[in-house]
Each structure stands twice: as C-alpha cells, then as structure tokens.
Amino acid sequence: MLSLYILIWPVISAAVLFVIVRAFFKDMAEAKREERDIV
Amino acid sequence: MLDPVFYQFSTSTTLILLIGFYGLTFLFSTLASKKSSSVDGYMVANGAVGFGIAAASMTATWIWAASFYGAASSGYQYGLSGAMHYGFWGALMILFIYPYGQRFRELAPRARTLAEIMQARHGSSSQLILAVSNLVGSVISLMVNFTAAGALVSVLTPLSFEVGVLIAGIGVLSYTLWSGFRASILTDFAQVVAMMLVAIVLIPWIYFNMGGSEALSQGFNIITAEQADFFSTKAILEQGAPFFVAVLAYGIGNQTIAQRLFAVRKDLIKSSFITATLGYGSIVIGLGMLGMMALFMGMTPHEGDLNNLIPQVASAYLPPIAIGMLFILVIGSLSSTADSDLSALSAIVMTDIYAKNLAKGKIDNKKMLLLGRITMIVATALGLILASFSLDILVMLVFVGALWGTLVFPVIASCYWDRVTNRAFLSAVLGGLILFCLVRFEWIALIGVWASSLELIAAVGGGTVIGLMFFGFTNRNVALIAGSIVGVLCAFYFHDFLRDYTVLLGSLVAYGASTMICTAISLASNERFDFALIHERIQHFDD
C-alpha cells in the first residue's frame, strides 16, 4: 500500500505528460495548416 | 572544503548545465515565437492559446522552487499526510479558479488583467489595489525563485550563491524580454515536459535505491503516531487548513493565473485547468514523497534546514547524472515561475498603470511596449538585489496573502452581483486587512469577548470559502446552503479554540470581515450596475 501511495504520482504525471504533448503537436499541426502562430 | 553530505558538481559541469538549460530555452523561444510588436500579443498572446500549451503553462507557472522544498518539508514534518496537505490544496487553487475564469472571459473577452476588469466595474482605486498587490507579490516571487537558484548552486556546486542568483536572473530575462507572454508560455511547455520526465524517472529511482517497500515499511517503527496517521489533526491544522483557506485567495489575487485565463481559448479553459490541476498535484505531491521517504529512512536534514532535504536525498540515493537531472528540474521550475512573474508585472504596468491611468486616453503602443520591457529589466534587477542581499521581506508576503484573501469575495461578487459598489469594495478590503493585522500580529490580546467575536467572524470566513467553492460549480442557492451549514459548524468548533491558531484565524477573519462589510454596504445601496459596460470599456490596444 505504501509503495502504491508513493509510486502512483509518477504514473499520473506520465499520463498528464502524454495528454499535454499529444495536444501540443495537434495544436502545432493545426497552426501550420492555418498558417498562423501557435500562440 | 566540500561538504560530504552533498554531491558536488565541478564548475565546468555546472556551467554546462546552466548555460545549456538557458541557452536551449532561449533558442526554443526565439525559434518558436518572433519578437512581439503587438501590445496585446505581448500580454496575452493571441487570446486563443490551445489546450496543450495552456495546460502546460498553468502547470509550470504554479510549480515554483518552493513547491518542491515546501512539499518535501511537509512530507518530512507531518509524515504520511504531509505531501498531500501541500500539493493537494495547491492543486485545488488551479481547479477552483476556472469557473470564475470563464465568467471573467464572458464579461471581458478582451481583458489582459483582472485589475482591468475591476477598473471597468468600479474605477481606478479598486484596480490599483489589485495591481499593486500583484506588483509586490510578483517581485517577492522573483526574489524567492532567484534565492532558490542561488541556494541550490551554492549547495551542489563550487560556485557562490550570488553567481547562481545572477545566472538565473539573466537567463530568465534573456528569453522573456523580446516576446513577453508568448515566450513565457512556449518555454513553459518545454520546461514542464522536462520537469515531468525528471519526476517520472527520479521518484521511482530513489524509491528503489532506498530499498523499496521493505526498507520503508520499517520506518513506521521510528516515526511518531501523529506522523503515521493519514488524518493527523496536527497536519490538518498547521499545514492543510491554512493552505485550503488560501486556495481562492491565490487563484483570484495572482495575475500569473489571470493572464493564462485571458490567453487560453475560452472553450478550453475548463479542460486546460483540470489537466493543470492533475499535472501540478502529481508532480508536487510526488516530490513531497521524497521528504516522507527521508523521514521513513531516518534521515535528518543537514544543519537542521529542511530546505536541504531534497539535495540531501538526491546525493545519498542517486548517481551524478540523476542529480544533474534533479538540478535541472529545480532550475526549470523556478525559471518557469520567474518568467511568468515578469510577464505578469509587465502586463500590469502596461495596462493598469500606463494605459488606464497615466496615458489619459492617449495610448502610445510603442511606448507601452517599451514600458513593458523596461518593467521586466527593472523587476529582474530588483529581484536580483533582494535575493543577493538576502533581504528579509517575506513578511510582506503575509500582507499580500491577506490582501488577496480580503479581495476574494469583493472581486467575485463584483462580477455577479450588480449591487456591489466601489465603496463596498474598498471598505471590505480595508476593513478585512485591518482586522487581519490585529489578529495576525496580536496587536490586541486574543482573549475574552474580542477573541470570541473574531472566532465568529472567522466562522463567516469559513462559510464564505466553502460557499464560493460551491458557487463556482453549482448555483447561488446551493452555495448559500453549503456556506451557511459550514459557517454554523465552524462557529460551533471555532469557539474558544481557533484563537490558538493565529495564522488560520487571521486568514479566515480576512475573508469573513470583507464578506460581511461588502454584503452590508451593497445591500444598503440602491445602485445597479450594467455588466455590459465592462465589455464596452475594455478594448484591444492593437485596434
């Protein structure tokens, strides 16, 4: 149980990282297609 | 002489790490965003920032150097629940602000600062209270972050504290100055990716090097019963509750959050902020676990300084390459917050000081942009000076936090209730702040009727916090019921008890007093405000 309590946080971080990076590349492709700055 | 407790990088390795980090960040910001010639772009980018960058930027901004040290210290002091009481409530600050962010965007889609909305609603005095509190708050934040850089460099490398401070200051300024907010959020993305990767790798690495479950389980024999209790009252009252109370204050008061609320595409506010809540929580609670693991392993902080815990754990259980990764993690976290503070400061000076007050209707965009960049340079210099001389100005943070606490109800009420007047707003903030000072600094002894009255006002404050949290996600009736129930329960439990916890009492009194004053004066007024005026009064500067 203690191990799960400690190690669950990097797992959640990894999931969030995946979501953020995937969204970034999607935004970048969209901006390129529409010929505008990403921000 | 090298301290055997900490691993020491050589001077050349340190310079490679720091120059490499800031060099790559500079390169990334230069390649990805051009020098900004638009004042609106310099403050809120294109106002339609996508989900990925917005979520990453909010996460990176909210994680500063103190998040790691604070979470680890909390984990070490309070045991099982310590890291949660730091990271969980900090994460909720991001979550609870987004419903109000949606309202701010609805009222003023072209706004750049929250103070600007208050100016359109009430006038300059309300605006300047918010603006000045943010100026002070962000300069203090810069100082704290530069200090953390100096401290880390002085502990892990042969370079001095001052050199670390200087490199961090110049490094952050170099990539933020030309493109402003655009550079800040783009580099936030790169920095958060690096931070998360490092956290994902290092936490399990340290855990297994410590001996895993078997070794750590033995720690239950050496910790106190309070530290072994996940629902420790001590941890809740000393760490969790003051943080919980601050949730809305920091969300409402801090321009770095408001700036991101105004920059992200409106329909993406919710998803970005929920993702950032998870991102912040997982990284900070995860790193707080390092403090808890240190406690379970029987480690004692070097020279009794809890800030030494993270470098100490890293030095004891990680190889040099991993310590280098941790070094970059801390530098990345403090830099992402520092660049956000620089962007926030420039936006406040450009919008709230220059455009809305000094320019008197004759706004010169070039002058405004120059002013924004000069602000960044001056703020960096100020942060460097304050950090280098280790000036003790943290007491000012107590005032800023209290001021933000008194602002929560008047600001939120001003955006929903048409009866709130400028007089109600100012009286509430002033009254709340005076009572806070009387309590926090115990200018009047906390005894007898005086103390009981304050506990009652604090109960109203408790009800306000819960009521506003419910209001963001539900409606006024549910919020009133939830707030009233909690207020009554608080009144019962706080009596003859809360006077012993002045930090918590002071914070709740600030909320309670400002809510009561603002409500009473507003109810006595016959004025009605047309919210459509806010939209009319806030225009794009670039048009």
Render pLDDT for B231-241 as a digit per residue (tens, 0 to 9). 999 999 888 88
CB–CB of B278 and A24 under 8 A? no
Q: Which domains does chain B possess?
A: 17-390 (1.20.1730.10), 397-529 (no CATH)
What is the average per-residue pLDDT within B322-334?
92
Specify the pLDDT at position B393: 62
Nearest to A17 among B49, B53, B193 (CB): B193
pLDDT-based confidence at B1, cuts 50/70/90?
Answer: very low
CB–CB of B53 and A19 under 8 A? no
Task: State the burial class of residue A35 (Cβ atoms within 10 Å of its Cβ: 0-12, 13-18, 19+).
Answer: exposed
Specify the pLDDT at position B46: 86
Nearest to B56 among A2, A20, A38 (CB): A20
Specify the pLDDT at position B243: 83
What is the average per-residue pLDDT within B346-365?
94
Task: State the burial class of residue A2 (Cβ atoms within 10 Å of its Cβ: 0-12, 13-18, 19+).
Answer: middle
Spatial separation of the C-alpha atoms in residues B58 and B432, rounded to whole Å: 29
CB–CB of B289 and A30 under 8 A? no
Secondary-structure percent of chain A, ordered helix, strand, coil, rounded to 5: 80, 0, 20
Report the run of H or E that residue B195 belongs to, with start and end: helix B181-210
Contacts of A6 in chain B (CB under 8 A): 203, 207, 216, 289, 292-293
Spatial separation of the C-alpha atoms in residues B530 and B144, rounded to whole Å: 41
Cα torsion angle, B355, B358, B364, B368, sign? negative
pLDDT-based confidence at B392, cuts 50/70/90?
Answer: low
Spatial separation of the C-alpha atoms in residues B116 and B182, rounded to whole Å: 20
CB–CB of A20 and B52 under 8 A? yes
Contacts of B196 in chain A (CB under 8 A): 13-14, 16-17
Nearest to A10 among B53, B189, B199 (CB): B199
**Tens digits of residue pLDDT in B136-173:** 999 989 999 999 999 999 999 999 999 999 999 999 99
Spatial separation of the C-alpha atoms in residues B87 and B94, rounded to whole Å: 11
Q: Please, which residues 234-293 of chain B have a Cβ atom closer than 8 Å to chain A?
A: 263, 275, 278-279, 281-283, 285-286, 289, 292-293
pLDDT-based confidence at B293, cuts 50/70/90?
Answer: very high
What is the average per-residue pLDDT within B122-132?
94
- The end-to-end CA distance of chain B, in Å, is 61
Task: State the burial class of residue B397 (Cβ atoms within 10 Å of its Cβ: 0-12, 13-18, 19+).
Answer: middle
CB–CB of A9 and B193 under 8 A? no
0.90 surpassed by complex ipTM? yes
Our CA-based measurement puts residue B507 at a distance from the nearest CA of chain A, in whole angstroms, of 30
Kindly report the average pLDDT of chain B as a whole number. 93
Spatial separation of the C-alpha atoms in residues B89 and B284, rounded to whole Å: 11
Higher pLDDT, B100 or B395: B100
Spatial separation of the C-alpha atoms in residues B291 and B83, rounded to whole Å: 8
Closest CA to B382 of B338, B423, B419, B444: B338
Nearest to A12 among B49, B52, B278 (CB): B278
Question: What are the 10-residue block averages of pLDDT along chain A, 39 residues in total?
Answer: 95 97 94 88
CB–CB of B52 and A10 under 8 A? no
Phi then psi for residue B421, to 5 deg, are -105, 170
Specify the pLDDT at position A29: 94
- The end-to-end CA distance of chain A, in Å, is 43
- Mean pLDDT comparison of B57-66, B237-246, B519-528, highest-scoring range: B519-528
CB–CB of A7 and B207 under 8 A? yes
Nearest to B55 among A2, A14, A20 (CB): A20
**Which of B33-37, B104-108, B215-219, B487-491 is least confident?**
B33-37
Task: State the burial class of residue A18 (Cβ atoms within 10 Å of its Cβ: 0-12, 13-18, 19+).
Answer: exposed
Specify the pLDDT at position B241: 87
For residue B2, is pLDDT > 60? no
CB–CB of A25 and B193 under 8 A? no
Which residues are CB-contacts of B281 (< 8 A; sequence separation ≥ 6)?
A12, B87, B88, B90, B91
Chain A interface residues (partner B, CB cutoff 8 A): 2-3, 5-7, 9-10, 12-17, 19-27, 30-31, 36-39
- According to DSSP H, which parts of B297-364 are helical? 309-317, 320-347
Specify the pLDDT at position B394: 58
How many helical (H) and strand (E) elements, i.e. helices and strands, does chain B have?
24, 0
Contacts of B207 in chain A (CB under 8 A): 3, 6-7
Contacts of A21 in chain B (CB under 8 A): 52, 193
Contacts of A22 in chain B (CB under 8 A): 52
**Which of B3-17, B73-87, B167-181, B526-540 is least confident?**
B3-17
What is the average per-residue pLDDT within B272-288?
96
CB–CB of B50 and A27 under 8 A? yes
Our CA-based measurement puts residue B244 at a distance from the nearest CA of chain A, in whole angstroms, of 21
Token output for B519: 């409500």
**Tens digits of residue pLDDT in B43-82:** 999 889 999 999 999 999 999 888 888 899 999 999 999 9
pLDDT-based confidence at B10, cuts 50/70/90?
Answer: very high
Find the radius of gyration of the CA atoms of chain B.
Answer: 23
Nearest to A6 among B49, B199, B289 (CB): B289
Task: State the burial class of residue B435 (Cβ atoms within 10 Å of its Cβ: 0-12, 13-18, 19+).
Answer: buried
The DSSP code sequence of B93-147 is: HHHHHHHHHHHHHHH-TT-S-HHHHHHHHT-HHHHHHHHHHHHHHHHHHHHHHHH
Amino acid at site B182: R
